[in-house]
Chains A and B, each alone.
Chain A
Amino acid sequence: MSGKYKQVAYYPGCALEGTGHAYNRSTRELGKALGLEVVELKNWNCCGAMEVKNIDPKLQTYLSARNLSIADAMGFETVMAPCNGCYHNLKKAEYDLRHDAASREVTDRLSRKAGHKTYEAGKVTTIHALDWIKDAIGEDGLRARVKNSLRGLKIANYYGCMYTRPRHIFPEKDRGPGSESTSKPHFMDDLLAAAGAENVEYPLKTACCGGAHTLSDSDTSTKLVLNLLTTAEACGADVIATECPTCHTGLEMHQVRAEKVFGRKTSVKILYFTQLLGMALGLSARRVGVQENFSDSSDLLRARGLG
C-alpha cells in the first residue's frame, strides 16, 4: 500500500443515499476491508446534478465549489466521489473556477452570502472511487488480499459517459502509462482482473445509455440500454460491472422495462465494482448490499462461491 489516499474526504452525493445506496454501503465496506478511511463531508449539499446545471451552470459551479470548500475547511486535500455525476460536477467546477472569471465571481458572491470561505481552485483534488482503490492499494495490493477469487466470472465493464466526458475537465487522464484513458478506460478492468475476474472485450464501455432522458423519452433509453445488455451478453459476460449509481439504476430498470415493453429478456447481471471487489476480499453479499440491487444475482454468486 502506497499510503496515498489512506484517508480521504468522502462525498457520497444524493444518489448514494437513495437508489444507489448499495454503492454507498459497498464503497464504505470495501474501504474498511482495505484499511482505508473515508470521512464524510460535513453538511454537504447536492452537486447541482443535471437539473441545476441545466438551468444555471454557474449556480451548479457554486454548489460543487461549496462541497470542495467544506473538504478544504476539514483539512483535506482530496475528496473522493464514487458517483460519476458528482465526480464530473466537482471536476467541472474546478475547471470553470480555473478558467472562467464569471464563475469565480458568482461563486465568491454566493459563498460570502452563505457565510463560508470561497473555494479557491487547486486546493482540493477530486478523485473517483476507482482512482482511490487503484492509487491507494493498486492491483498487486489487491491481489495479495483476495480471499474469494472472482476466477471464472466474465465481466463487461461499463463506465458510462460522465467518467470521461468532456475530456477537457479531466486533465490527469490520457497521460500515458499508468493514467486513465478517456477513449478506452481501464481502471475498473484492472482492479477486477486483479481480483481474478475475466474481463471481456466490451466495445460499449463508454457508450450512451440515454440516462438523462430516462423519463422524458423512455423508449430511447430502453433501446440504448437493451443494446448495452445484449452486446455484453454477445461478448460472453455474466456480469456488467458499474461504477456509477445512475448507470447502474438505468441498466437495472431498463432491463426490466425492455422485457415488459419490447419482450426482450436479458439475463446478464448488474453489480457495482465495489460489491465485486468486496466479495473477492471475503465480505458477504449482504455486507456489500447485493440484496439492495434490483438485478438478482444471488444464483450466479452462489454458484461461484461468492458472498
Chain B
Amino acid sequence: MASIRTMSLDEVTARLDGMLGASDVELGADASALADQLLALSEAILEAWLTARGESPTNEAVEGFRLLALHRQGARGEPSFNACRETCRELVFHHNLVRLDPAHAEVARRLRLGVMVARHLMLFIGGKLEVAGLGEFCCAARPLRQQEATAHPTETV
C-alpha cells in the first residue's frame, strides 16, 4: 500500500471510501489511529494542489497542525482557497473530537462525518485541479477577467 504522503488523489478517494464503508466495530477498534490517518489523507489532498502548483508542501504546523499550515501555504496568492479554510478547520476539530475520547459511544459516527468533510475537501481540490477558477469570484470576490478588465477600463460605459 502506498504511503499516504505519496498517494494520488484517486488513492486518497479509495481510502476515504474504505473508511466510510467500515463497520462501527472496525472504526471503533482503532479510532485514534484512524483519526490520525484521516488528517494525513487530508494533508495529502492539499499536497496534491501545492505540488501541481510547483511548490514544496511545508512540513511546518499552524496551531499545532500541518493541515492548517498547508492550507495557509495554498492560500498564499490564491484567495479562493478561503473556500476550504473552514473545511480544514472542521477536519482538525473532528480529529480532536475522536482523539480526545476514542472510546466514546459515537466515535464511529464522528469518524464518518470527518471522512465526509475530507471528501468535500477532496472534491473541492479535485475540482480546482480541473477548473482552477473554482471558488475564485464567489469566495474570493476576485474577478476571473481582471487582466481584461484592466486592459479595457470602464471609460467606455
Query: Is B truly associated with A?
Result: yes
* A interface list, Cβ under 8 A from B: 50, 53-59, 62, 88, 92, 106, 109-110, 113, 161-162, 165-167, 169, 183-184, 203-208, 210-213, 216-217, 220, 223-224, 227-228, 230-231, 234-235
B154, A56: Cβ atoms closer than 8 Å: yes
- A67 CB to nearest chain B CB (Å): 17
0/1 string, B42-64, CB within 8 A of A gives 1: 00000000000000000000000
B143, A211: Cβ atoms closer than 8 Å: no
Chain A residues whose CB sits within 8 angstroms of the CB of B131 once the complex forms:
213, 216-217, 220
**In the complex, which of the residues A53, A110, A207 contacts B86, with contact meaning CB atoms closer than 8 Å?**
A207
A59, B154: Cβ atoms closer than 8 Å: yes
A54, B127: Cβ atoms closer than 8 Å: no
B87, A204: Cβ atoms closer than 8 Å: yes
Bound Cα distance from A206 to B135, whole angstroms:
12
Chain A residues whose CB sits within 8 angstroms of the CB of B85 once the complex forms:
183
- B128 CB to nearest chain A CB (Å): 9
Chain A residues whose CB sits within 8 angstroms of the CB of B119 once the complex forms:
227
Interface residues on B, range: 35 or more
Which residue on A lies nearest to B89, using beta carbons?
A183
**In the complex, which of the residues B83, B117, B124, B154 contacts A203, with contact meaning CB atoms closer than 8 Å?**
B117
Which residue on B lies nearest to A169, using beta carbons?
B141
Query: By DSSP majority rule, is chain A's interface helix, strand, loop, or mixed?
Result: helix
- B117 CB to nearest chain A CB (Å): 5
B residues 108-157 in Cβ contact with A at 8 Å: 109, 112-113, 116-117, 119-120, 123-124, 126-127, 130-131, 133-141, 143-146, 148-149, 152-154, 157
B138, A211: Cβ atoms closer than 8 Å: yes
Decide if B95 is an interface residue (CB 8 Å cutoff). Answer: no
B148, A220: Cβ atoms closer than 8 Å: no
Chain A residues whose CB sits within 8 angstroms of the CB of B112 once the complex forms:
234
18 cross-chain CB contacts under 8 A:
A50-B138, A54-B137, A54-B143, A56-B149, A57-B146, A58-B154, A59-B157, A162-B138, A165-B140, A183-B85, A203-B93, A203-B94, A203-B113, A208-B120, A212-B136, A217-B130, A220-B123, A231-B116
A227, B139: Cβ atoms closer than 8 Å: no
* B interface list, Cβ under 8 A from A: 79, 82-87, 89-90, 93-94, 109, 112-113, 116-117, 119-120, 123-124, 126-127, 130-131, 133-141, 143-146, 148-149, 152-154, 157
Bound Cα distance from A211 to B123, whole angstroms:
13
Chain B residues whose CB sits within 8 angstroms of the CB of A169 once the complex forms:
141
**In the complex, which of the residues A54, A205, A231, A235 contacts B144, with contact meaning CB atoms closer than 8 Å?**
A54
B154, A208: Cβ atoms closer than 8 Å: no
A227, B116: Cβ atoms closer than 8 Å: yes
Bound Cα distance from A62 to B157, whole angstroms:
11
A203, B127: Cβ atoms closer than 8 Å: no
Q: Which 7 A-B pairs have the closest CB atoms?
A: A220-B127, A231-B116, A203-B90, A165-B139, A208-B83, A161-B139, A56-B149
A223, B94: Cβ atoms closer than 8 Å: no
Bound Cα distance from A109 to B153, whole angstroms:
13
B116, A203: Cβ atoms closer than 8 Å: yes
B157, A208: Cβ atoms closer than 8 Å: no
- B64 CB to nearest chain A CB (Å): 17
> Given A62-B154, A234-B116, list of 5 further CB < 8 A pairs?
A183-B85, A203-B90, A220-B123, A220-B130, A231-B113
